[in-house]
Each structure stands twice: as structure tokens, then as C-alpha cells.
């Protein structure tokens, strides 16, 4: 994905970018600032150019992240992923007319497939730009407050936020009795799920617990549906006027 984004930004050597190499990482950050982002004036980028002086560059990079309002990440991979996405958005906003031809081709293809009546959108959310930088910044800020892990796709992160709000902050969730007891030590269980890969065994255990939770939620909804049907059929009303006696 890093390589594809660098190719989209016309990086001169996308295949040779190794983010684990500190100097290569620093040089890539400098290239993004010089060619795409341009947060600073040219004369204000001098410290970022000192890629051979780690102490000065690291301080300049910290200031740079602050000035870009970058969310707090844990790894260089997350940071450069965010910077590449930010640069791509700026690239589009600088010259959206370059993409109009592509959009018009896609629209004509859709129109040729089927002709449907136009419906005027009255929902406020239908007119929102979910890829706008302010919208994305709001999602990142909310994720930091709720301690939701970073994901390169902000819409996936928004889905995680919605789930946390539904499960923990909604009125129905607040009325639930707090769960007490010792957490299940799924990482220390004796049942090994993946025998040939110890690193893969841990996430598979997590996925198995999530599947069990989904099945429990499905069973709860099935039980609610059964109860609702029983309420309708347990005490049916009979209209005696429709009955007949004899032949």
C-alpha cells in the first residue's frame, strides 16, 4: 500500500523506500514536504533537510507533526501512512479538474447501465463529503478521546467509534449491569488454535471470541423474535359471528 501511494504521488523510486531505514524515512518525509504538502516556506524547511543529523531532524520532525495536527501514532508505518494519505488529498484539492474527465467517464458508464428517476436528497448526510480533511480530522480526534486504535481508512475507524458508542455510551448500555469478575485469559489458554504459527494463534483467539459474541447477539435477536410471535399467537381472539351451527 505504501508503494502504491508513493507511485500515485509520482515518487521517483517508490520500490526502494524502506521505512525501517531512518535516513530513508527522513528523506521520504522531506520529499513529501518539498513536493506535495508544502506546510512550510522553503526557508523554514532547513532543519528537515538535516537528515544526517538525527537529533536536529527528530526535533524538527516532532514540530512538523504538531504543525500538521497529525494524530498520535505508535509506529513510523502509521505516521507515513497518514502523511501519504494527507498528501494525496492535497494533490486532489490542488487540481480537481484533472480528475473530472475520469469522473465523467464513470458517470456515463453508470448512466448507460440503467436509467433511474432522480430523487432529491433530503437527508443532511447525503450531501456530506466523507473524505473532506475536516471530517477526517474530526474522526481522528474522536478516536483519540475514545482510545480507538488508528486505522488508515477513517471510515473503518468511524465504524469502530460507532460500535463503542452503541455498546458503552448509549442509554441502553448505561442501564445494563456492570460486568464484574476476572477477565477470561484467552491468551493463556491451553487450547492452541493455530499449531504451526504461534504469532498467528493470538489474533485467531481474538477473532474466535468476537465470533462467539456475534453468535450470542444473533441468538438474542432470534429469542426476541420468537417471544414476539408467541405474544401474537398465544391468545387469539375468535369472532363467533363467523361460525355456523349444523349444515
pLDDT tens, position by position, 137-155: 888 888 888 888 888 888 8
Domain boundaries, the chain: 1-97, 130-176, 193-227
The residue with greater pLDDT, 112 or 76, is 76
Q: CA 82, CA 76: separation in Å to the nearest integer?
A: 10
The residue with greater pLDDT, 129 or 196, is 129
* Distances 230 to 18, 216, 234, 236 between C-alpha atoms, Å: 63, 21, 5, 10
Residue 57 has pLDDT above 90, yes or no: yes
SS3 118: coil
Q: CA 176, CA 196: separation in Å to the nearest integer?
A: 41
For residues 84 and 5, is the Cβ–Cβ distance under 8 A? yes
Residue 114 has pLDDT above 70, yes or no: no
Q: How confident is the model at residue 59 (pLDDT cuts 50, 70, 90)?
A: very high
The mean pLDDT value for 21-34 works out to 91
Query: Residues 219-228, buried b or exposed e (16+ Cβ, 10 A)?
Result: eeeeeeeeee
SS3 69: coil
Q: CA 13, CA 23: separation in Å to the nearest integer?
A: 15
In this prediction the pTM is 0.43
Q: CA 87, CA 92: separation in Å to the nearest integer?
A: 9
Q: What angle do CA 72, 76, 77 make, to 5 degrees?
A: 105
Amino acid at each position: 500500500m505504501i508503494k502504491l501511494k508513493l507511485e500515485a504521488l509520482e515518487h521517483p523510486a517508490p520500490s526502494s523506500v524502506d521505512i525501517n531505514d531512518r535516513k530513508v524515512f527522513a528523506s521520504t518525509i522531506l520529499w513529501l514536504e518539498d513536493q506535495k504538502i508544502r506546510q512550510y516556506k522553503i526557508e523554514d524547511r532547513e532543519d528537515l533537510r538535516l537528515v544526517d543529523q538525527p537529533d536536529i531532524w527528530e526535533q524538527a520532525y516532532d514540530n512538523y507533526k504538531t504543525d500538521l495536527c497529525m494524530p498520535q501514532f505508535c509506529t513510523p508505518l502509521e505516521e507515513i501512512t497518514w502523511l501519504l494519505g494527507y498528501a494525496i488529498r492535497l494533490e486532489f484539492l490542488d487540481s480537481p479538474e484533472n480528475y473530472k474527465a475520469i469522473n465523467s467517464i464513470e458517470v456515463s458508464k453508470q448512466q448507460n447501465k440503467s436509467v433511474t428517476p432522480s430523487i432529491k436528497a433530503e437527508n443532511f448526510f447525503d450531501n456530506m463529503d466523507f473524505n473532506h480533511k475536516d471530517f477526517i480530522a474530526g474522526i481522528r480526534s474522536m478516536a483519540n478521546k475514545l482510545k480507538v486504535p488508528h486505522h488508515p481508512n477513517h471510515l473503518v475507524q468511524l465504524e469502530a467509534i460507532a460500535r463503542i458508542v452503541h455498546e458503552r455510551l448509549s442509554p441502553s448500555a448505561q442501564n445494563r449491569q456492570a460486568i464484574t469478575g476476572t477477565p477470561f485469559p484467552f491468551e493463556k489458554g491451553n487450547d492452541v488454535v493455530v499449531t504451526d504459527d504461534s504469532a498467528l494463534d493470538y489474533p485467531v483467539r481474538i477473532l474466535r471470541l468476537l465470533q462467539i459474541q456475534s453468535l450470542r447477539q444473533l441468538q438474542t435477536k432470534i429469542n426476541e423474535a420468537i417471544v414476539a410471535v408467541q405474544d401474537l399467537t398465544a391468545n387469539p381472539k375468535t369472532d363467533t359471528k363467523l361460525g355456523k351451527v349444523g349444515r
